[in-house]
Amino acid sequence: MKTAYYSLAGSMLMFGLGTFWSGPKADQTTTEKAYKVFNDHCAPCHSDTSKGGFSFKAYASMTKAPFVVPGKPDQSDVVLRTSKQPNDPMPPADAKNPTLSQDEKDALRAWVEAGAPELKVEKAVIQRTAISEGEVLRSIKTDLDNADPRDRQYLRYFTVTHLYNAGAEEADIDAYRKGLSKLLNSLSWQRDISIPKAIDANHTILRIDMRKYKWNASIWKRLLEAYPYSVVSSSGDAKAIYSVTECDLPYVRADWFVANAALPPLYHDLLQLPRTASDLEALLKVDVQTDIKEETAARAGMPQGESGVSNNNRVVERHESAYGAYWRSYDFSNNTGKQNIFDFPLSFVEAGGEIIFNLPNGLQAYMLVNAKGDRIDIGPTSIVDNSKNPNRLPTDSIEVKNGLTCMSCHVQGMKRFTDKVSSVIKAASKNAVAYDYDKALALYISKTKMDEFLDADAKRFTDSVRSCGSEVGEKEPIVGLQSSYAAPLDIQRAAAEAGMTVNAFAAKLESDSTLGASVGLLRVAGGRIPREAWEDKFGQVVSECSLGSYLPFTRAESKVVLNPGPTRNSGANTRHSLKGNVEMILIPEGEFTMGGPNDSEKPQRKVFLDAYAIGKT
């Protein structure tokens, strides 16, 4: 619901930035009554877009189906769910102020029927100086100049400058800073949490040292291959930055990263996640079969309908790992034969599963596997689905996608569950069952013991989240930030992302027929362009507006594999890509033995190599 005003005076942009929304005045109109309901009942989750998927203070985010469909109350969630839609009420029962009066429900319906007009609120106008691309580059160059020369090749930067220039409120920008910190550390194999450091006065440029996350040049290169906003500048500052970092482009937008790096394939590649459960277990020093044999594994089994995600029975199993806990679920395509966990509690045959494990820093990472234990991007909806996840946005697919879907469900760590298998075992006669009765009882442990594991694992996770600078609540903020990024762009946001003033960008749209035809929807009053279309057309915007040299990107698709390791920048700003349909395997960095007794050139020796990828043959 933000209203922005623009005037150009030198390099000064004036934005209408609301610092406080105090609610409607006493003489309430239909619109004011509706907004008062939002303010009184919905503010905890819907006062910014990073929490509940939409904000009643950001009109464009609220008027996306199915949240609010202007003129159609029976298609609008704010009407349907506040009317206590069965099994899906809003506000939720545990909210501070969950009950709406009939007058309040009527007010929402009347407002939507009237076309859901936006509440125009007087806002304090403050001056905000737009930060130019040249200033961003100077800040990065100065930071690199002040860094130890040996560190420079490892330094990378994330920017929220375009959000600042577009008039985003500080709270929304800060939500991206926190989301960036949490996600980066959720992709790290280091023991210590590392928070990105702001290098400019307005905290719009954030620096990281890739070594703090066990990243290297090949990981950053993989990131750039999927990045749709790679614009290479020919300025002296830019050339110096590219040279000392030995990187084609050592800075990317934080909002794009937060929206994309939690989903496969980037999630898998940046996390350097092994391709099989057995390889992951070896990495984490988990021996599943030995733990089961020695009865140190802990199991619980749930019947169909009780797990919240599995469409059939489910078994969850916990193991100690090198960094905390290793949890694995066993999911089934039906409940008969060896997929019936109550008949076969020890020798069931699963159809797939989900793995949740602690990283060295205590945060959680995730992996979906099929029946063979091979890593997959998306769980089959016939086996698992996301429809019952209270953090799922109404516009989201019910598919369980590795990474973000798991984060949204496990926002507070491992979810609670109640084992039902042990009670079935105890009710049976020891001599009447075909399995090892005592072993089954040893593995399917008591609720008291399981709760102790859950409490300890939850504390480890939540302590680490707080160390990232975030709080642990009921919603995963990265989900809301992804939704906010994915929203259609108006001309204000598009101009800021192009590094131009609104007036200059609008004038270019009018004068340039090619650009007008490509993104001309932005010229229409209230016009917005879909995010995906803007990404596809951004190269054309760069070319027509002479913003620099554009490096094309490859849109992330399922099952994309890691490309070859780094090649040193020879000075040309080129993007290397894999030729042909060759599956690549990541070889992690580490010490290798080369040579040997029969090596005619060199004797056997130890060498250290950066991570690289090699064709699978």
Percentage of the chain modeled with pLDDT above 70: 80
Q: What is the mean pLDDT of residues 198-226?
A: 97
SS3 category, 592: strand
Least confident of 82-96, 159-173, 297-311, 350-364: 82-96
Q: Look at residue 595 in the predicted model and tell me its pLDDT.
A: 64
pLDDT-wise least confident of 88-97, 467-476, 524-533, 568-577: 568-577
* Cα distances (angstroms) measured from residue 81 to each of 33, 53, 69, 394: 18, 15, 14, 11
| 152-162 residue pLDDT tens | 999 999 999 99
Query: In angstroms, rounded to a whole number, what is the distance separating the alpha carbons of residues 21 and 18?
Result: 7
Residue reference for tokens 């016939």: 382
pLDDT digits (tens, 9 = 90+) for 32-47: 888 888 888 887 777 6
Whether 586 shows a pLDDT value over 60: the answer reads no
Task: Please state, in angstroms and rounded to a whole number, the distance separating the CA atoms of residues 201 and 205.
Answer: 9
* Mean pLDDT along residues 260-266: 94
Please give the pLDDT value at position 578: 35
Query: Whole-angstrom Cα distance, residue 329 to residue 448?
Result: 20
On the question of pLDDT at 565 being above 60, the answer is: no
Provide the 10 A C-beta neighbour count for residue 382. 11
Note the pLDDT of residue 221. Answer: 95
Per-residue pLDDT at 409:
86
Residue 25 CB coordination number (10 Å): 10
- What is the structure's pLDDT at 8? 27
Higher pLDDT, 288 or 401: 288
364, 410 Cβ separation under 8 angstroms? yes
Tell how far CA 106 is from the center of its chain.
37
User: Of 360, 412, 408, nearest to 188 (Cα)?
Assistant: 360
- Peptide bond before 477: cis, by omega within 30 degrees of 0? no
Question: What is the spatial distance between Cα 444 and Cα 421, in angstroms, rounded to a whole number?
Answer: 7
**For residue range 377-436, what is the model confidence (pLDDT) as tens digits?**
998 888 887 776 666 665 567 888 898 889 988 888 898 899 999 999 999 989 889 999
Q: Once rounded to an integer, what is the mean pLDDT over residues 557-580?
A: 33
Q: Which of 48-62, 206-220, 277-291, 483-497 has the lowest mean pLDDT?
A: 48-62
Of 205-214, 381-390, 410-419, 479-488, least confident by mean pLDDT is 381-390
From its phi and psi, is residue 451 left (phi > 0), alpha (psi between -120 and 50) or beta? Answer: alpha
For 42, 128, 162, 492, 509, the CA distances from 165, given in Å and listed in that order, are 29, 8, 5, 9, 19
Using a CB cutoff of 8 Å and minimum separation of 24, what contacts does 113-119 make? 113/71, 113/73, 114/30, 114/31, 114/71, 115/70, 115/71, 116/34, 116/63, 116/68, 116/70, 116/71, 116/76, 117/31, 118/1, 118/31, 118/59, 119/1, 119/24, 119/31, 119/32, 119/34, 119/35
pLDDT of residue 218: 95
pLDDT tens digits along 45-83: 776 655 566 777 777 777 777 788 888 888 888 888 887
Which pLDDT band, with edges at 50, 70 and 90, does 569 fall under? very low
> Which of 97-106, 175-184, 451-460, 606-615 has the lowest average pLDDT?
606-615
- How far, in Å, CA of 133 to CA of 234, rounded? 12
pLDDT bracket for residue 298 (50, 70, 90): very high
Provide the CB-side half-sphere exposure for 5 (13 A, CA): 10
Give the dihedral sign, CA 63/64/69/74: negative
- In this structure, which amino acid lies at residue 126? I
Instruction: Mark residue 403 as left, alpha or beta (left: phi above 0; alpha: psi -120 to 50; beta: remaining).
Output: left
pLDDT of residue 472: 85
Helix (H, G, I), strand (E, B) or coil at 67: coil
Mean pLDDT within 568-593? 45
The secondary structure of 517-574, three-state, reads HHHHHHHCCCCCECHHHHHHHHHHHHHHCCCCEECCCCCCCCCCCCCCCCCCCCCCCC
Average pLDDT, the chain: 83
pLDDT of 581 over the 60 cut: no
Could you tell me the pLDDT band of residue 9, with boundaries at 50, 70 and 90?
very low
For 168-313, strand residue ranges (E) read: 197-198, 205-209, 231-232, 251-253, 298-302
The phi-psi region of residue 10 (left if phi > 0; otherwise alpha if psi is between -120 and 50; otherwise beta) is left
The arithmetic mean of pLDDT across residues 523-531, rounded, is 88
Alpha-carbon distance values, 456 to 444, 461, 462, 466, 490 (Å): 19, 9, 10, 16, 46
User: Alpha-carbon distance 230 to 562, whole Å?
Assistant: 19
Question: For 121-135, what is each residue's pLDDT tens digit?
Answer: 655 544 678 999 999
3-class secondary structure, 394: coil
H helix or E strand, kind and range, residue 4: none
Mean pLDDT of 90-109: 79
Query: pLDDT higher for 574 or 309?
Result: 309
Least confident of 39-43, 187-191, 457-461: 39-43
Q: Identify the residue with better confidence: 109 or 206.
A: 206
Q: What is the pLDDT of residue 593?
A: 67
DSSP-based three-state secondary structure for 471: coil
